[in-house]
Chain A
Amino acid sequence: MASVIERTRTTTTSEQEGLLLARYLLRASDVPRDALERFETGCEALFGAGSNAEDLAFCRFVTRRPWSLPYLDAALGILKPQTLLRKKLFLMLAVLEAMPQNVAAFTPRPAPIAVVIARLLALGISSGFKALAGVCLYPFARRSP
């Protein structure tokens, strides 16, 4: 009985996590069920061997405080790019990219060069601010119980 409960709890956590990451990446509320299932299978295949306490702490922190994900992601991109949370984000990105319904989101959009440069600048500035906020969160997140 205990193993069934444990298994159910884990699955739910993984699904919640998948939903959070997918919504963050696509900025959309609808996430296909297939994506969550594939993400879960991918996590088992790639990260099943166990992770260190700090890696798990980052994942717990963002699952409990979804608003913190963009900031922590930005900070980890600079401070700890190989951490489990970033790897899970890349896995979810790969899963979403390999789905026909998301093809438009992953296809370059032609635009005048000035527009492209403006978009890139906006993305750069937003990343910078998020990283600053993320660096402030970092010490709390790494010790998340």
Chain B
Amino acid sequence: MRLTDGVIVVGSGASATAAAFPLVRAGIPVLMLDVGNVDDHYAAVIPEKSFTELRGSDPGQHRYFLGDDFEGVPFGQVRVGAQLTPPRRFIQRDAERLTPMNTSTFAGVESLAKGGLGAGWGAVAVQFDDHDLRDFPIRLRDLAPYYESVAARIGVSGAADDLHERYGNCSCLQPPLELDSLGASILDRYEKRRAAMNQMGVYLGRARLAALSRDLGVRRAQSYHDMDFYSDREQSVFRPAFAVDELRQFPHFVYAKPYLVERFCETDGGQGIEVAALHTESGRRETFKARRLVIAAGTLGTARIVLRSLERYDTPVPIVSNPYTYVPCIHLPMLGKAVKDRRHSLTQFGVILEPGPRSARRVHAQAYSYRSLLLFKIVKEAPLPVAEGFHVMRELMNSFVILGIHHEDRPAVTKRCVLRKAKDGGPDRLEVSYKNPQDVEREQASAEKVLLKAFRKLGCWPLKRIHPGNGASIHYGGTVPMTSEDRELTTTPECQLRGTSTVFLADGSVLPYLPAKALTLTLMANAERVGVRVSRELAWKEGQRS
């Protein structure tokens, strides 16, 4: 048994690292338990050059663009995580084997990587406001200081434009990243039609991104190499793995891998906690002991640990996931035009559709240009002969804008996950069933129509609406939600697991529903809030003891 006189943090993703920072800064010993898979295959073979230079000169480019096992050439029906290129596939490694899921209605992605799903994060870093949090047991004022400190730590760039209030104020905001030609053209048209757009409830603004426009510590400003989906070499885009390395500078922080945490058990009359974990290489089970436990193993991973520890097999718990639609559009004014080579691969601008007569809920969309994911992937979507399709898409590529639309998601009886105990000695299986009620789907379709109508006014003609499947947003939450009501399998508004004295949850599992906006910055802010809460509690107990 390994002992720590401090806190065990489970996981190493955006939430886990955010929860760990206030603890280590308060001098509390922290043991982070993680499986911690890393990319030990592709990082070294990607030269530090721009996309255009690599395309024209590197004979080994097929290795990272297509993958050594052609894992970058997808043929499935479900299109989840297009940005998970071969160098990002380590994010999902071992997840199917160690944390299996049974589902035919939900394309869930779990990660056992160092940095968790954050290793493939699209870096959209926006705050929830009081409208988004209207049915949460906490308000913006509870999160505001943590938004600020997280943004200062990870570096967030953006502009004071029409989305500034909706994306949240931040005193440490870096200047926005440069727009590419397509983004500049669309935002320029928006400027000229702002009044009409706003009347429709549509607001556009520069992307708010956890990507640096100025150097921050050892991390460098964006180089506009358009290789953000493949390489993290310059560290412009924040990855939680960088935070793990930063935490390791503290002498009282220990990062232990490869451990898959299975269960916890409170000890000493609720004064301590024991954690059982599987050493995934040796198959040995080990026990760790601490004063507090913070679980941030991802919404689904955390649900597994909680349900197993409380012996609540076969008990359904809710799950929410932002419904996601993506819409390839042609921006006609850019047809045939030359574009700037200097660009990044992340979202160019954000869009918010405010609630109105056609949509009772806010909708959030992000617009991407298309280049570094290669032409062959979009040719596949066209019902044309491949030879002609390739020429058509080449003609259109500079005018392609991909609109990724996220909708709010609330719990429903048709959206559940259940942990089933393994009968064959293997790992327990999480069964997920997910179906949105028809009236909700109708409302979402209606909101999308309003949004696309507005985009037509900006010269963007939608080609088709693609529904990649439930769970495709890779935004999950709500399995052990925070609530003011004293109900089992929930947490307090401070994210303490009900029925325990020492266990806190600090990831998406505690969000009672998912507003349409990207959730990662909120996960980090809330996790830091949890870390501060735990550090204060331990400091208070320490004070009492002495």
Q: Which residues of A contact B (CB under 8 A)?
A: 24-25, 27, 34, 38, 41-42, 45-46, 70, 73-74, 77-78, 81-82, 86-87, 89-91, 93-95, 97-100, 103, 106-113, 115-117, 119-120, 123-124, 126-127, 130-131
Cross-interface CB contact of A77 among B75, B336, B389, cutoff 8 Å: B389
9 contacts between A and B (CB under 8 A): A93-B376, A93-B390, A98-B66, A99-B62, A103-B55, A108-B398, A110-B337, A111-B336, A119-B391
Kindly provide the distance from the CB of A95 to the nearest chain B CB, expressed in whole angstroms. 7
Question: A101 → chain B, closest Cβ, in Å?
Answer: 9
- CA–CA, A81 to B61, complex, Å? 28
Task: Report the number of A-B residue pairs with Cβ-Cβ less than 8 Å.
Answer: 124
Q: What is the bound-complex CA distance between A117 and B172, given in angstroms? A: 46
Q: Which residues of B contact A119 (CB under 8 A)?
A: 391, 395
Q: Are B386 and A100 in contact (CB under 8 A)?
A: no
Q: Which residues of A contact B394 (CB under 8 A)?
A: 106-109
Interface majority SS (helix, strand, loop, mixed), chain A: helix
Chain A: which residue is nearest B381 at the CB level? A81
Residues of B within 8 A of A98 (CB): 61-62, 65-66, 374
Tell me whether A74 and B395 are in contact in the complex, defined as CB-CB below 8 angstroms, given that A95-B66, A110-B338 are known contacts.
Answer: no
The residues of A that contact B376 with a CB separation of less than 8 Å are 90, 93-94, 97
Contact of A100 among B56, B336, B382, B391 (CB under 8 A): B56
Closest to B77 in A: A82
User: How far does the Cβ of A3 sit from chain B's closest Cβ, in whole Å?
Assistant: 25
Cβ–Cβ contact A120 & B395, under 8 A: yes
The complex places the Cα of A108 from the Cα of B389 at a distance, in Å, of 13
B539 interface residue (CB < 8 Å to A): no
Measured between beta carbons, the chain B residues less than 8 angstroms from A74 are 384-385, 388
Which residue of the partner chain B has the closest CB to A131? B385
Residues B386 and A73 in contact, CB atoms below 8 Å apart: yes
A-B pairs, top 5 by smallest CB distance, nearest first, are: A98-B62, A74-B385, A116-B336, A110-B338, A89-B386
Q: Least Cβ distance of B41 to chain A in Å?
A: 15
B53-69 near A? 1/0 per residue, CB < 8 Å: 00111110110011001
Chain A residues, CB < 8 A from B395: 108-109, 116, 119-120, 123
Q: In the complex, how many angstroms separate the beta carbon of A125 from the nearest chain B beta carbon?
A: 10
Q: In the complex the two chains form, what is the Cα distance from A99 to B376 in whole Å? A: 13
Q: Does B540 touch A at the CB level, under 8 Å?
A: no
B interface residues (Cβ-Cβ under 8 A, vs A): 55-59, 61-62, 65-66, 69-70, 72-73, 75, 77, 335-339, 374-376, 379-380, 382-392, 394-398
Bound together, the chains give a CA A82 to CA B383 distance in angstroms of 11
Q: Which residue on chain A has the smallest CB distance to residue B332?
A: A113
Report A-chain residues with C-beta under 8 Å of the C-beta of B55.
Answer: 100, 103, 106
A25-B390, A100-B56 as given contacts; A91 in contact with B73, CB under 8 Å: yes
Nearest chain B residue, comparing its CB with the CB of A98: B62
In the bound complex, what is the Cα–Cα distance between A127 and B387 (angstroms)? 9
Assuming the contacts A38-B62, A98-B374, asked whether A86 and B386 have C-beta atoms less than 8 A apart, the reply is yes
A94 to chain B, nearest CB (A): 4
Expressed in whole angstroms, the Cα–Cα distance for A41 and B259 within the complex equals 35
Distance in angstroms from A52 CB to nearest chain B CB is 15
Q: Judging by beta carbons under 8 Å apart, are B70 and A127 in contact?
A: no
Smallest distance from the beta carbon of B472 to chain A beta carbons, Å? 19
CB distance from B205 to the nearest CB of A (A): 28
Verify B387–A100 contact, CB threshold 8 A: no
Determine whether the beta carbon of B385 is less than 8 Å from that of A70.
yes
Q: Is the CB of A113 within 8 A of B380?
A: no
**Contact between B62 and A115 (Cβ–Cβ < 8 Å)?**
no
Partner of A87, one of B56, B62, B75: B75
- Other CB < 8 Å A-B pairs besides A97-B374, A112-B336, A130-B388, 7 of them? A25-B386, A73-B387, A74-B388, A98-B65, A119-B395, A120-B392, A123-B384
Bound CA span A93–B384, Å: 14
Chain B contacts for A86, CB-based, 8 A = 386
Find chain B residues with CB under 8 A from A113 CB. Answer: 335-336
Question: Given A70-B385, A97-B376: A91 and B336 within 8 A (CB)?
Answer: no
Assess the A24–B336 pair: CB atoms within 8 A: no
- With a CB–CB cut-off of 8 A, which chain B residues contact A45? 69-70
Interchain CB contact under 8 A, A123 and B388: yes
B390–A100 CB distance below 8 A: no
Cα of A83 to Cα of B362 in the assembled complex, Å: 40
How far does the alpha carbon of A116 sit from the alpha carbon of B338 in the complex, in Å?
A: 12
